[in-house]
Structure 1
Amino acid sequence: MQKNILIATGILFLLEFYVYEAVKTVTANSSVRIAYWICTALLYIFFISEIFLFKKSDPHPQRMQVVVSVFLMFLLPKLFVVLFLFLDDFGRVANYVFKTATQTEASFPDRRKFLSLTGVALGGIFSALILDGIVFGKYRHHVRKVKLKISGLPASFKGYKIIQISDVHAGSFFNPEKLQPAIDLINRQDADLVVFTGDMVNNFAHEFEQFVPMFTTIKAKDGKFSILGNHDYGNYAEWDSLAEKAQNVPKLIGLQKKAGFEMLRNEHRFIEKNGEKLYLVGVENWGEKPFPQYGDLSKAVTGIPAEATKILLSHDPTHFDAIVKNHPVHVHLTLSGHTHGMQFGLDLKNVRWSPVQYRYKKWADLYESAGKFLYVNRGFGVIGYPGRVGIAPEITLFELS
């Protein structure tokens, strides 16, 4: 990760001299130009020093969040300026090769100033969106209501309401109390069942400790269940010993139990009403490599009647195409998370786009394949970039029919 960031930083630093052309075009004030270079130099010094000081063993991810935020707010937006200056230079070359009587060199300064201002303005808008995502966006939780018709659903479970939350990433929040409105929003749905589909923490179980009282207040008539996500195993952290790491998952399970969540690890439970049963299956993380493949669906469904209605909790949506939809045991609905919608994109009624779609074919909302459903939750929290732009944090309410 550090190597990739340094490469990106090096490229941006080389482009700075190109960006400076826009600064000179926009203003002739020498003090402003000097101030620009001083601020730019300080940002790069801070950025590079923080990268070299970063340690995986650091239990506090806030430093890396600051680094990512600086990169997105102050360095990446300069690419807008570069793009528009490149368009201007491309126009100059085209004019030189295909010069016409209506296009003269006298028009270039005005055009360059316009394009420079446009690039600076778009960069500023991008920075403002990134800042809004950090300050407000990650707290804009909303409920997505999904009415789902499941073939063979027992009559007693018609209208049954399930809340899904996913990817809390507790260690990413400076002020957990700001999530209280989201918890209140969950409780207002009056759900029969609440499920959590993995990544409660970034790496360390203790990240969730201060969240326990808040999550204890989440209400569900028939219980609260959870599974592990790839981050919950602590595989992305440095540990003093294997014994210390081995205690991380048991500690996290204990903290979630204290908050009222029962952990499912390649096993199942059932909800019974009027003699009819709905089976809830939970597997450990299974993702395409390099993500861990601890999930064992065959083990988890052992003993469930073939005709029974089954809902599977599986953190990574790639598990669905790779294993679930072709498994001999029919799983009616799989609930996943993991992608976060990359916390950036467009999520409108008829337009849905995020860079994450180039990595995951199924990255948000409801999918159907081979007569089986998959729902991918956009996530409750954040990781890396401590904000959300266009992809709001999600609480999903399913009503079965």
Structure 2
Amino acid sequence: MRWTILLLVFILVEFYSYQALRQLSKNPWLLAGYIVISVAVILYVVYGFLQFDRTLGQNKQSMLAMGLIMLFYLPKLLITLILLVEDAGRLFMGTANYFISDTNVSDSFMPERRKFVSQMALGIAALPFLSIMHGITRGRYKFQVHKQTVFFDDLPDAFDGFKITQISDIHSGSFDNEEKVQYAIDLINEQDSDVIVFTGDLVNSLASEMEPWISVFKGIRPHEYGKYSILGNHDYGEYVQWSSEEDKEANFKAIKDLHPAMDFKLLLNESVWLEKEGERIAIAGVENWGVKFKKVGDLNKSIQDVEESDFKVLLTHDPSHWEAEVLDHPKKIQLTLSGHTHGSQFGIEIPGFLKWSPIQYVYKQWAGLYDKKSKFLYVNRGFGYHAYPGRVGIWPEITVLELRKKV
């Protein structure tokens, strides 16, 4: 039944899209070209998904197939919706004319389709088409530095002005352009930060995905107060099929070993102290804990050696952890840093005016800074990309957070 519904929707979308183009132009070469391109896209999408191997996880072919679906079928779906609305109006007018009008009814029951509606539908559809095209060709490597100042009542004086660089969701198995990734590493190194943290999802599934990129990420400069990291849901190898539990565990160990190979200290439900001028703050890191994902993070264990009065920065991959366990924890956690959502890699952000992504209907906190009860959460939009090879409106992010003492 599910496949039958999908097939009917597909036929409907293709029918209306062709009708819109045919209404605009009856040039046989244009219409033939449209049909050839549509068939080629369909064939590649089928090929791409047939190349998916459950033992390896997502690959370049399946990612491109998903990208083509977004590129061609999101615009076509908009065309279909607009023409369906017009057809509902045409049906209403035809019915009214048939039962009410005392004038001669034309041979056609429904009024003819209006050309300007098809033109409008094609014009509207061009916006997501061009946006997604940009997102695939350039947007996925359009790295942005987000600088955010956060004020605290209880920040130790010595850490007033302390800077943290955060990156998240590298997803190294998706990368295909070393020059662009190196540009992002250079951007990280240009930030005048005291410490750098990585908040999970180093790979899509396999440790081998990161091996070609170790030297690139090892190029992140040493930071005076260290380089720290945690695991994300993709780092447990649970999105591929393993021949044995031993192979899965070996992959997991190899992923954990990648962190020191990149000169990062991996925090596994533990905390470290950063000391400056006789004062200190704690950075705690938990394994993945998400309301809808793997729950292996142990918050209590990660801060067992930290007092309630100490200033704490928590690294936890999934932002749903914040409201579920962190926000009301008896040991006040002043700042939480997360990632995971990628901002859905699709949305609209106009600073100070508009911030929207479909991910907001799944996650209350999905990008940027949030505060509640004098505690803060920052959700990084992600460094890499996954599921489809693009970013539309939600660009890859390098975050620089400056901690300031509230006066």
What TM-score results when the alignment is normalised by the length of structure 2? Answer: 0.91
**1:90 deviation in Å?**
2.3
Match of 1:316 in 2: 318
- Among candidates 93, 97, 100, match of residue 95 of structure 1: 93
**1:38 deviation in Å?**
3.7
Per-residue CA deviation, residues 302-341 of structure 1 (Å, 9 max, x unaligned), is 0112211000000000000110012111111100000111
- Among candidates 232, 246, 264, match of residue 249 of structure 2: 246
Match of 2:333 in 1: 331
Matched, 1:266 2:269: yes
Equivalent residues of 2:12, 2:80 under 8 A apart: no
Give the gaps of 5 or more residues in structure 2.
Answer: none
Matches of 1:94 and 1:359, distance apart in 2: 37
Equivalent residues of 1:69, 1:385 under 8 A apart: yes
The 1:216–1:326 alpha-carbon spacing in structure 2 relative to 1, beyond 3 Å, is: same
Letter in 2 for 1:242: E
**3-state SS of paired residue (1:147):** strand
Match of 1:121 in 2: 123
Q: How many residues end up aligned between the 2 structures?
A: 395
Equivalent residues of 2:237, 2:248 under 8 A apart: yes
Matches of 1:86 and 1:10, distance apart in 2: 14
Match of 1:143 in 2: 145
**1:67 deviation in Å?**
0.5
Match of 1:390 in 2: 393
Match of 2:77 in 1: 79
Match of 2:38 in 1: 40
**3-state SS of paired residue (1:286):** coil
**1:28 deviation in Å?**
2.2
Matches of 1:46 and 1:177, distance apart in 2: 28
- Among candidates 366, 385, 405, match of residue 363 of structure 1: 366
Matches of 2:140 and 2:127, distance apart in 1: 18
**1:97 deviation in Å?**
5.0
Matches of 1:179 and 1:7, distance apart in 2: 41
Matches of 1:38 and 1:164, distance apart in 2: 46
**1:123 deviation in Å?**
2.2
Matches of 1:5 and 1:320, distance apart in 2: 38
Equivalent residues of 1:271, 1:278 under 8 A apart: yes
**1:7 deviation in Å?**
5.8
- Among candidates 214, 217, 225, match of residue 216 of structure 2: 214
Matches of 1:199 and 1:336, distance apart in 2: 11
**3-state SS of paired residue (2:69):** helix
**1:261 deviation in Å?**
0.5
**1:59 deviation in Å?**
5.5
Match of 1:64 in 2: 62
Equivalent residues of 1:380, 1:393 under 8 A apart: yes
Per-residue CA deviation, residues 223-246 of structure 1 (Å, 9 max, x unaligned), is 100000000111001122211110
Letter in 1 for 2:311: T
Alignment of 1:108-257 (within 5 A): 109=112, 112-219=114-221, 220-257=223-260
Per-residue CA deviation, residues 13-52 of structure 1 (Å, 9 max, x unaligned), is 3332233222332222334434433432333233234324
The 1:8–1:188 alpha-carbon spacing in structure 2 relative to 1, beyond 3 Å, is: farther
Matches of 1:40 and 1:306, distance apart in 2: 61
**1:98 deviation in Å?**
5.3
Letter in 2 for 1:51: F
Per-residue CA deviation, residues 160-198 of structure 1 (Å, 9 max, x unaligned), is 000011011111111233111111111111210000000
**1:365 deviation in Å?**
1.0
The 1:68–1:76 alpha-carbon spacing in structure 2 relative to 1, beyond 3 Å, is: same
Per-residue CA deviation, residues 115-174 of structure 1 (Å, 9 max, x unaligned), is 112222322332221111111111111111111112211111111000011011111111
Equivalent residues of 2:345, 2:393 under 8 A apart: yes
What TM-score results when the alignment is normalised by the length of structure 1? Answer: 0.92
Matches of 1:167 and 1:240, distance apart in 2: 27
Letter in 2 for 1:84: I
**1:4 deviation in Å?**
7.7
**3-state SS of paired residue (1:226):** strand
Letter in 1 for 2:78: F
Equivalent residues of 2:49, 2:61 under 8 A apart: no
Per-residue CA deviation, residues 203-230 of structure 1 (Å, 9 max, x unaligned), is 0111111221121121211110000000
Equivalent residues of 1:212, 1:256 under 8 A apart: no
Matches of 2:5 and 2:170, distance apart in 1: 30
Alignment of 1:11-26 (within 5 A): 11-26=9-24
Matches of 2:294 and 2:5, distance apart in 1: 28
Query: For structure 1, which segment, 171-180 or 187-196, has the greater mean C-alpha deviation from structure 2 after superposition?
Result: 171-180
Equivalent residues of 1:6, 1:48 under 8 A apart: no
Alignment of 1:45-56 (within 5 A): 45-56=43-54
Per-residue CA deviation, residues 274-298 of structure 1 (Å, 9 max, x unaligned), is 2211100000000013x10001100
Letter in 2 for 1:334: T
Q: What is the CA RMSD across the aligned residues, in angstroms?
A: 2.3
Equivalent residues of 1:85, 1:112 under 8 A apart: no
Letter in 2 for 1:371: S
Per-residue CA deviation, residues 336-379 of structure 1 (Å, 9 max, x unaligned), is 00011101111111210000000011111111122211111111
- Among candidates 372, 392, 402, match of residue 399 of structure 1: 402
Equivalent residues of 2:307, 2:331 under 8 A apart: no
Letter in 2 for 1:194: I
**1:64 deviation in Å?**
1.2
